[in-house]
Amino acid sequence: MNTTLDTAIESLVEAIKADYLSFTRKMWKSADGELSDFNKDQVAKFNSGISVTLGKKYAKIVTESGAVWGFVVAVDDDKKFARGVILKPAGWAAPTRNFGRGNVITGGYTVRWTGA
């Protein structure tokens, strides 16, 4: 990968983490607005468990539960998608190729912690 794509994927991962924290705060905050120690631990576990693996054509983003969050096109010579396009997973090893869910380099995409 190149620095621009690396940085863009890092930003995507940070946005995934931020969305998980936002979700957790909405669902589990106490009366004083703070998260319990358990929920803080869950957020920390989620954050530390996200990984990015580079394959021949895609960067695969995997959550701490072992589920594939999505794929990012990592090559310039893809016949259908530009470098940086976010794709939903079709399964563990490959993305769906029906349409992109945004581009990490150019922006303009929505992030949910649950997947692309």
112 within a domain of the structure (yes/no): no
48, part of any domain: yes
pTM, 2 dp: 0.90
Q: Which domain holds residue 7?
A: 3-87
DSSP of the chain, one letter per residue?
--HHHHHHHHHHHHHHHHHHHHHHHHHH--TTSPPPHHHHHHHHHHHHH-EEEE-SSEEEEE-TTS-EEEEEE--S--SS--TTBEE-BSSSS-B--S----BTTTB-----TT--
Domain count along the chain: 1
Q: Is the pLDDT of residue 91 over 60?
A: yes
Q: What is the mean pLDDT of the chain?
A: 92
Is residue 92 a part of any domain in this protein? no
Is position 31 within any domain?
yes
Quick: pLDDT tens for 2-54.
Answer: 669 999 999 999 999 999 999 998 887 766 778 888 999 999 999 999 999 99
| Within-domain flag for 96 | no
Q: Is residue 55 part of a domain?
A: yes
What is the signed CA dihedral for 42, 24, 14, 76, rounded to 10 degrees?
100
**For residue 45, is it within any domain?**
yes
Reported confidence tier of residue 81, pLDDT bands at 50, 70, 90 = very high
**Model confidence at 95: pLDDT above 60:** yes
The answer to whether residue 115 is domain-embedded is: no
